Chains A and B, each alone.
Chain A
Amino acid sequence: MKFSLRHGLRKAFYALCLVPLTTMANDPVPKAGKGMTIPVEYYKLANGLKVVLSQDKHAPIVTVAVYYNIGFRIEPKNRTGFAHLFEHMMFQGSKNFPKGEFDKLTERNGGFNNGSTRFDFTNYFEVMPSHMLEPILWAEADRMKALDLNQAALTNQQGVVKNEVKVNVLNRPYGGFPWLDMPQYANENWYNAHNFYGDLKDLDSANLEDVKSFFSTYYSPNNAALVIVGDFEIANAKAWIDKYFSAIPASQLPAKPDLTEPVQQKEKRFSKEDPLISKPAIAIAYKMPERNTPQYYAMGMISELLVEGKDSKLFQHLVQEKGYTSNINGGINYLGNMFNYNGPMLWMMDCIYDGTVNADSIIAKVDQSLAELEKEVTQESINLAMVKMRSSLYDNLGGFYGIGLADLLACFALFDDNPSRVNQLEAAFQQVTPELVRSTIRDYLRPTNRTILISQPAKKETK
């Protein structure tokens, strides 16, 4: 059994080795160079639940995902980490299905489940042998309807979540750097700029009332999307969804708070001390253009050229040429990808480097890379970025047992009311021109739109 831990914030990292999923030998094989077209069936129940069905019969597996339109951005102000703590509560059982039964239903029938909390959603998914679809739909509906919220379960999960924060942040060198730290430095608006894993004090003060009111406010069908991907019959799925979900009442959702960030006019620099490290690390973050705008797609292409792979500008300059570091991380949305968020976002890069290197030398190389890209970008660069983008898109659409596809379908249903967007992404990236890349670099990847954070080893006390 393997574990893939991506920044925690998930129920558990018990996951089978998640690897790209492909299809049956007797399925029609796409012609070389052709894209993929994903079947998408989309409808809504009377109570507002969004439903997306996408059949793929390559293996006797079905993936069910329920996404709630509540992420850690908009958790209560005096309760940091609460959205994630609540995610854990969704596994604590109901009157019909006591604690432990949900995990038993999935794992002990040959599948697995998980949940995670992100900026703008909390998700729950199960990957199962096909014949388990009906029981899984029932179990998801059951917990959407009513949880058996009790103090013992809450106390237990407060312990688990505090240990999650300890193992991923407090006892880990570079813990939380930069994925948890940077939003707190780069953003001004509390919703985007608080510690969303949670202060231990806040986690301790969560009480049953908070949990109950959070559940009744946000965990309703009109705030959710249900996605089924894989080997199932559409008619059966629809009948079961109707049977188990349609009677769940909609709730009155509060108005969404204002998440906007002021336009940044000045570069910000910060440094923090980490007592657990002996090599410094640097992260540089730029505020992203608004989602789904032409510049947003251009940023996706820029990211491919700047930081993805060993042919990328930053790898070539910082690793290959200078040897400042052996590895560059970077991209849009460190807790996911450029598609699964809905609000202000950062493009970021980070690396660990030697104390003998001046951080300004790294920053200078980043500036040089951007200047080169702006000067040199041609249609050929766009084509290269496009190939890289397509390749990772296919992995996402076809990989991870359908979890990658379910994620896109759910997010596009929740955020855009249009899950068919999965089939329009390639065309959107095709619209990016060299000129648009240049203007996007000028408008967004300017020093005055960035935040630099350096994590320093703590000074050793000499005794």
Chain B
Amino acid sequence: MKNLILYTSFALLLSATTAEAQTQLPAAGKPKDFVLPASKKIELPNGLKLTMVPYGNIPKVTVRVVVKTGLVHEAKGETWLARYMGKLMEEGSLQNDLQSLSKKVAAMGGRLSINVGMESISIGGSVLSEYAPEFIRLIAEVLTTPAFPAAAGERLKNDLKRELTVRKGQPDAQAQQEFFSILFKDHPYASQFPTEEGLNALTVEKARDFYNKQFGAQRTSIYVAGNFDAAAVNTAVSQSLGNWAKGPAISYPPVKANKSSELVIIDRPNAPQSTLFLGTPVPDVSSPEFTQMEITNSLLGGSFGSRITRNIREDKGYTYSPYSAVMERQSNAVWYEKADVTSESTGASLFEISKEIRGLQAAPPPAEELKGIQNYEAGSFVLTNSSADGIIEQLNYMDMFGLKETYLTNRIKNLYSVTPAQVQNMARKYLNYEDMTLVIVGDKKQLESQMNTINDTRKKKKAF
């Protein structure tokens, strides 16, 4: 294992100030080099991958198993089957039912939870260091011999129904599902809500079947980070997972996000705010332009000092929580801006958002502004790699998107290589406001008088 030193190039951004000591911002010290934590990777004969990262002085260890399956593998009409399966797996293994499992894990100072995501399912938790091997064995039981107790079937289904009801009432969830449905139609990436009938039709058998079809060693990675005895961990993994069946190969159904300039308004009577969801497909992780897109996103809406946030929050006070992000999926990426804005300022907010996007298309950002954003991204990278969980997250991200070791070693250099002209080019090439999908969840009554303003922002404007 070797430690890799990254030469960070934080350049301090100073403002002009007066010359008196107490009234003048002092200079920063010399940036320290950042040492990337070393990790050890082992692949078992059945294809299961183990990554160990010794890190830190807290007597705890984080174990996370990631299986490359999830909502993405649900068939039509079986929405949330993967989540149902996850809940059933949480009920325990053939050796330990939920009560016995929970007791054992609690005695290690931990909790075992299963998170079902779009493209991956993660199983794990953190426990006191000395229990790492035992914890791994318990996780392995749940992973390879889940009980799928029939007795829990109805109760867990009812939990999902309750959750569906709760989610449907959230403006965020309403906006998000509408937005992604326009982009991904009936592909699981659309994040559609299930129907009550659909949930009723789920069975324990179907869940077990999903598990049998989608789980196996080839699709599985296990990450162990923090303080632990590496030899004991290695032994626990080999013994408890070494004989697990290979299972299916990694496979994600191909899909390309659909570009649409649709505007949808979902009525939320008397809502004090409109929830805006605005976005469009952009180049994905595999594209050479992706880093440029990440920087463009941070500068435009993805950081507190970004242009849209400074404008609609820190100048106009229309909103508290605006942000933009790039949602990443296999072979897909979608840029979106999300904000909950005061109902009567919906049109005004959209006007300002469109102005900021077009402004970036019209002129490259000043070098100093870009440098600040690059520092921000480089800093985020350092922070991510300064904690056990962050390191796991980083390594899993690289694994999910097939990124090589050079992604880590070149990350900081690549961030700083983006130029103002490239940022402007990203905005021009991919972020045309009038071509974006726009979903508004808000009070139609209050939106009526603002429709002219809203529609006017959607007209093609020659920005460049």
Q: A130 vs B29: C-alpha distance in the bound complex, in angstroms?
A: 8
Q: Which chain B positions have C-beta within 8 A of A395?
A: 58, 60, 126
Can you list 14 A-B pairs, Cβ within 8 angstroms, ordered by A? Answer: A3-B323, A22-B55, A24-B57, A25-B54, A58-B57, A96-B25, A107-B305, A108-B373, A163-B318, A174-B166, A277-B166, A309-B106, A323-B159, A387-B108
- Cβ B227 vs Cβ A29 within 8 A: yes
Q: A447 vs B31: C-alpha distance in the bound complex, in angstroms?
A: 58
A interface, CB within 8 angstroms of B = 1, 3, 5, 8, 12-14, 16-17, 19-25, 27-30, 32-36, 56, 58-61, 95-101, 103-105, 107-112, 127-135, 138-139, 142, 155-164, 166-167, 170-174, 231, 243-244, 247, 275-279, 309-311, 315-316, 320, 323, 325-326, 352-354, 384, 387-388, 390-392, 394-395, 397-399, 401
CB distance from B33 to the nearest CB of A (A): 8
- Cβ B37 vs Cβ A107 within 8 A: no
8 Å CB interface, B298-354 against A: 302-305, 310, 313-321, 323, 325, 340-342
CB distance from B354 to the nearest CB of A (A): 20
CB distance from B108 to the nearest CB of A (A): 7
Q: Which chain A positions have C-beta within 8 A of B159?
A: 323, 325-326
Given contacts A28-B57, A30-B59, A109-B13, are A166 and B32 in contact (CB under 8 A)?
no
Q: Which chain B positions have C-beta within 8 A of A155?
A: 317
- Cβ A163 vs Cβ B393 within 8 A: no
Which A residue sits closest to B225, measured CB to CB? A22
Q: Which chain B positions have C-beta within 8 A of A310?
A: 98, 102, 105-106, 111-112
- Cβ B386 vs Cβ A278 within 8 A: no
B interface, CB within 8 angstroms of A = 3, 8, 10, 12-13, 15, 17-18, 21-35, 37-38, 54-60, 62, 98-99, 102-103, 105-112, 126-130, 154-156, 158-159, 162-163, 165-166, 169-171, 225-227, 229, 268, 270-273, 275, 302-305, 310, 313-321, 323, 325, 340-342, 371-373, 375-376, 378-380, 382-384, 386-390, 393
Given contacts A58-B56, A107-B304, A401-B386, are A13 and B18 in contact (CB under 8 A)?
no
Q: Which chain A positions have C-beta within 8 A of B320?
A: 8, 12, 160-161, 163-164, 166-167
- Cβ A166 vs Cβ B387 within 8 A: no
Given contacts A60-B34, A384-B106, A387-B109, are A23 and B55 in contact (CB under 8 A)?
yes
- Cβ B304 vs Cβ A109 within 8 A: no
Q: A397 vs B59: C-alpha distance in the bound complex, in angstroms?
A: 11
Which B residue sits closest to A153, measured CB to CB? B314
CB distance from B433 to the nearest CB of A (A): 22
Q: A101 vs B16: C-alpha distance in the bound complex, in angstroms?
A: 11
Given contacts A1-B302, A23-B58, A167-B340, are A156 and B169 in contact (CB under 8 A)?
no
Q: Which chain A positions have C-beta within 8 A of B105?
A: 309-311
A14's contact among B28, B112, B154, B303, by CB below 8 Å, is which?
Answer: B303
CB distance from A422 to the nearest CB of B (A): 13
Q: Which chain A positions have C-beta within 8 A of B268?
A: 171
- Cβ A163 vs Cβ B273 within 8 A: yes
Which B residue sits closest to A108, measured CB to CB? B372
Q: Which chain B positions have C-beta within 8 A of A311?
A: 99, 102-103, 105-106
Q: Which chain B positions have C-beta within 8 A of A24?
A: 35, 55-57
CB distance from A350 to the nearest CB of B (A): 13
Q: Which chain A positions have C-beta within 8 A of B106?
A: 309-311, 384, 387-388
- Cβ B155 vs Cβ A21 within 8 A: no
Which A residue sits closest to B274, measured CB to CB? A171
Q: Which chain B positions have C-beta within 8 A of A96?
A: 17-18, 23-25
Q: Which chain A positions have C-beta within 8 A of B393?
A: 17, 19
Q: A357 vs B399: C-alpha distance in the bound complex, in angstroms?
A: 45
Q: Which chain A positions have C-beta within 8 A of B109?
A: 387-388, 390-392
Q: Which chain A positions have C-beta within 8 A of B33?
A: 60
- Cβ B31 vs Cβ A25 within 8 A: no
Q: Which chain B positions have C-beta within 8 A of A98?
A: 15
- Cβ A111 vs Cβ B130 within 8 A: no
- Cβ A171 vs Cβ B271 within 8 A: yes
Q: Which chain A positions have C-beta within 8 A of B32?
A: 60, 129-131, 231
